[in-house]
Structure 1
Amino acid sequence: MTHPHQAALVNGQHLDFIVIGTGISGIGATYAMHKRFPDDSFAVLDEMDGFGGTWWTHRYPGARSDSDCYTYGYSFKPWETGRAIGTVDEIRSYLGELIEENHLARHFHYGHKLTAAKWSSQDQRWSLEITRLHSGETLTLTTTFLWMCTGYYDHGKGYTPEWPGMADFRGQWVHPQHWPQDLDYTGKRVVVIGSGATAATLIPSLADSVAHVTMLQRTPTFMSADSPIHPLETQLRALDLPADWIHEIMRRAFIAKVDGEVEISFAHPEEMRAALIEQARALLPEGFDVEKHFNPSYRPWQQRIAIIPDGDLFAAISSGKASVVTDRIERLDATGIQLTSGEHLDADIVVTATGFNMKMFGGVPFFVDGEAVDFTQRVSYRGLMMEGIPNMAYVAGYIRSSWTLRADLVSDLVCRICEHMEKQGYNVVVPKVPAADADMQRLPWIDTENVNSGYFMRSLHLLPKQGDRHPWKHGLEYAEERVSFPAVQPDEEALTYR
């Protein structure tokens, strides 16, 4: 699929840059290249039929951001809805405005799936095998620099555990990532398995229409009942300030808020735990077992805290339209779910809000000079390039802060590296571990004492490594990288040019 003012890609075509993905990362990277390399050629490919990435696939009821949109939005485009938590439609509208305002759509090619990436040192370029999904046609494109903006999970298949008796259930199975737009849940008994941000979003959205909705969780998640409208914004808007001023002030306010929460969660985790539990207790019915249902065993911010605007999940529970069950599934049967406690949950629809499967670099096979690349044996350079892989960058966001805060930093540093190459007359940049760091420990992608989200824990064996020292460590906080990234010199020892 092509834009009306866009020339179709042709077999054998060469471009200076190719970006894979039109989600938050890909749009940000395209904007950066458009501004800083106006004379270079580039194309942006996505296998889906529209922009947005997550916001293209996530169409379940109530889908919304799980970060404030002042920091989830870009530094260079104000978020102006007046609500910190954006709906899927608001986020796609925001992205669409950015694309239109900067005439980026002509670079986007939808329905184009990257199936293999092959680097040739002799030619000093990538050869990319592409399939046009709507026609089945294949073509090969070449590029000097490849920018992977595919995120790190599988858009094509959400994660669903296996339980005994699944084939016996006569109702309907639904994964939020593949929500049928014609699903009629009116008057139905719905069980949502899971307790993360997706479950917390779905349940209040379903509560008024269904007969009853139950959140079935194996273990609890921390919830924060924040207001979607920050009191500071109300004051700023009353002053009739320019939109970009408000955006910048609000970004700083939310950055400081998250920084403070993360700092407290490390220094005084039990105080943070108590505050979150007491907030829930104040918004739930008297006698509700908050300790059982909303007090996880892990430290606050060891996994993401689910934001529930104005406590909408707690309100649905208080109304009696929703309930929470903390138990384990023994098996499914024709009419619902049998729990290990002996309780049975009757269900017409079971929603598996059980997370996603991780898939680095879109699951695309990479080759360097004919040798297949095993990313699990390589370390990442600052969490944006891979050891031994020439002219390739990628974007991975923060665990606690907004994804886009890191995407912005990565875009700036990648562009500075490419500007350095052009200025010095280099064609190739490769991250290499210097001889002085040859004894460096190769550690898992994340420190599980720091972060233990289920999707990471299930996938560590599939992910690249990190080192035990800079610049080979990643998974850092925005508070550190907003200082360290701008200070990086493109000619540092870890980057080899030729």
Structure 2
Amino acid sequence: MTADYDVLILGAGISGIGMACHLARECPEKRVAILERRHAIGGTWDLFRYPGIRSDSDMFSFGYAFRPWHDYKVLADGPSIRQYIADTAREYGVDRYIRFGVKVEAASWSTEQRRWTVIARQEDTGEALTFTCQYLVPCTGYYNHDHGHLPHFAGQERFNGLRIHPQHWPEDLDYHGKRVVVIGSGATAVTLVPAMAGKAAHVTMLQRSPGYIFSVPAYDKISAKLDRVLPTRWVYRLARWRNIRMQRLIYKAARRWPRQIRSWLLAHVEKQVGTGVDMRHFTPGYNPWDERLCAVPDGDLFTVIREGKASVVTDHIETFTEDGILLKSGKVLKADIIVTATGLQLQSLGGMTLRVNGRQLGPGDLMTYKGVLLQDVPNLAYLFGYTNAPWTLKIDMAASYVCRLLKHMDAGDFDMVTAHAPSDEMLDESILGSLQSGYVQRGQGVLPRQGRGLPWRVLHNLEADRKMLLKQAIADPALEFKRAGTRVAPSSARMADPRALSV
């Protein structure tokens, strides 16, 4: 038997739960279900379990706009974020509509039936499952949850110690008193090093080239003090407003005055690490925001380096040895554990196959309309967040736009909408734009394309997106709306519980 819904969401991470909550708030009459491959809510925050995992944005702006974050810890740890997402799902009742352990393999649209057919599999039993829906909303992010990026290192099979990728961290790993080498210089590496330095004999961060690192307060003292004299909701709104505008100011300044911001960032690091550390390890060869900046709370990375518990080495790997790594400079790093924090492997739509009227389409061959709808793909919204600001700022707006679109379709008695672009609009550039990070460059081909201009160009611009997604009318010459000759029976329930249906 096939389970049928008005809206089917793929993924119960921060994006999928956010989308479901917006539907519960703004389109309560819709029958909604969520398919989640893992066996828990949280997505990324349930997958990654390495020591010290935390947000790389402050939680006042990273949390949902409709459900305030009231803790004063600026960069929250992974378990706290997981709990926040789960609590949000329960508060809005959407946790009851999640089908766990379901891997989606393919989605096929039929214009004749005005329906998506989603083919999936219950992973623990292998049972084949089929779902249908009028509107499909993948909230699967843009990287592969099965495999991170793991380059081949010469001699890696010779190493007698333990080699770990952060995406597959052993929960029972004992690194007390061990020599640890963390390969990488991104957000994962700068988080792991101070988190492991307290127990490990020594932790070395081995990088090919430096990245920008800046310190943020671990605790929001301003909001904590204001909370004593002002209503909590005011304090939250003020903190969110302040932090969003500060982030936007730094980003815009970095793009406009890169040399000045570069000098400011490096001076900040030099003050933190002290005079005994070679600044070449912290001086990137690119401008700020050509790659993402890494935030560290209260300069914890700089503290463990200053105290001698950790160190940074900038070099290239010649080969792994039986007990460590030989570098091209001739230096040897002894190690009991090597952590390969070498990045992500990009993937669109969770790796599922996408077909429209029998024709297979790849996201890497399509653009996005307003950064939400896929070109020439009916009744599908692909939610992804910001790369230069907190992820959920974009997710909240995109989810609101989807709800506005669904209301517009209902009001006009439409059951199909498709975004069509001019034939010469597409550029050979992905939606992640100007970011030069390794994972972005490796995965350019699997991501949707950029257009020459709006609404086909993804700007990663909060102000422009707020206008496009929340203010502009839904009706647009680029959108083709259709009515069916025979209407699908209207929903009779607020949301359908997929566990109560046989599939």
TM-score between the two structures when normalised by the length of structure 1: 0.95
Measure, in 1, the Cα distance between the counterparts of 2:51 and 2:432: 34
Is the partner of 1:131 in helix, strand or coil? strand
Code of the aligned partner of 2:100: Y
Asked if residue 442 in structure 1 is aligned to residue 442 in structure 2, the reply is no
Cα deviation, residue 244, structure 1: 2.2
Aligned to 1:297: 285
Q: In 2, are the aligned partners of 1:220 and 1:293 still within 8 Å (CA)?
A: yes
Task: Write out per-residue CA displacement over residues 8-54 of structure 1, whole angstroms, 9 at most, x where no aligned residue.
Answer: xxx31211110000111000000011122222211101000101111
In the TM superposition, residue 475 of structure 1 has moved relative to its aligned partner by 3.8
Match of 2:498 in 1: none
Q: CA RMSD in A?
A: 1.2
Residue 310 (structure 2) pairs with residue 326 (structure 1): no
Matches within 5 A, 1:246-395: 246-290=235-279, 292-395=280-383
Kept in 2, the 8 Å contact 1:284–1:317? The answer is yes
Note the residue ranges of structure 1 that are not aligned, 5 or more in a row: 1-10
Counterpart of 2:400?
412
**Could you tell me which of 213, 221, 229 is aligned with 1:223?**
213
Which residue pairs with 2:144 in the alignment?
A: 154
Letter in 1 for 2:430: W
Structure 1: distance between partners of 2:459 and 2:350: 20
Unaligned stretches of 5+ in structure 2?
A: 483-503
CA distance in 2, matches of 1:231, 1:81: 11
Tell me if the contact between 2:57 and 2:390 (Cα under 8 Å) persists in the aligned partners: yes
C-alpha distance in structure 2 between counterparts of 1:362 and 1:86, whole Å: 26
Deviation at 1:415, TM superposition (A): 0.8
Question: Match for residue 496 of structure 1?
Answer: 480
Which structure has more RCO (C-alpha within 8 Å, separation ≥ 6)? 2
User: Aligned AA for 1:385?
Assistant: L
The aligned counterpart of 1:198 is 188
Alignment: residue pair count: 482
Q: Is 1:111 the counterpart of 2:101 in the alignment?
A: yes
TM-score by length of 2: 0.94
Equivalent residue for 1:432, pick from 417, 420, 432:
420
Tell me the residue number matched to 2:177.
187
Corresponding position of 1:483: 467
Task: Say whether residues 1:86 and 2:70 are aligned partners.
Answer: no
Kindly, what percent of the aligned residue pairs are identical? Answer: 38
Distance (whole Å) between structure 2 residues aligned to residue 97 and residue 68 of structure 1:
19
Q: Among residues 72, 77, 102, which one is paired with 2:67 in the alignment?
A: 77
Q: Report if aligned partners of 1:60, 1:179 keep a CA contact under 8 Å in 2.
A: yes
Q: What is the CA–CA distance in structure 2 between the aligned matches of 1:496 and 1:243, rounded to whole Å?
A: 45
Matched to 1:461, the amino acid is: G
CA deviation digits over 1:149-183, x for unaligned, max 9?
Answer: 00001111111111111111111111111100011
Give SS of 1:123's match: coil
Deviation at 1:372, TM superposition (A): 1.0
Instruction: Give the ranges of 4+ consecutive aligned residues of structure 1 lying more than 4 Å apart after TM superposition.
Output: none
CA distance in structure 2 between the aligned counterparts of 1:440 and 1:121, rounded to whole angstroms: 25
Confirm or deny that 1:174 pairs with 2:160: no
The answer for the alignment partner of 1:403 in structure 2 is 391
| Secondary structure of 1:60 counterpart | coil
- Partner AA of 2:8 in structure 1: I
Q: Is the deviation greater in 168-177 or in 33-42?
A: 33-42
Distance 1:462 1:344 in 2: 38
SS in 2 for 1:443: strand
Q: Please tell me whether the aligned partners of residues 78 and 243 of structure 1 are also in contact (alpha carbons under 8 angstroms).
A: no
Residue from 2, 17, 26 that aligns with 2:16: 26
Work out the CA distance in 2 between the residues paired with 1:306 and 1:111: 33
Q: CA deviation at 1:441?
A: 4.1
Letter in 2 for 1:96: A
SS of 2:381's equivalent? strand
Instruction: Report the alpha carbon displacement of residue 469 of structure 1 after superposing the two structures with TM.
Output: 1.0
Matched, 1:245 2:229: no
* d(CA) in 2 for partners of 1:31, 1:208: 40
Structure 2 counterpart of 1:35: 25
* C-alpha separation in 2, matches of 1:459 and 1:373: 17
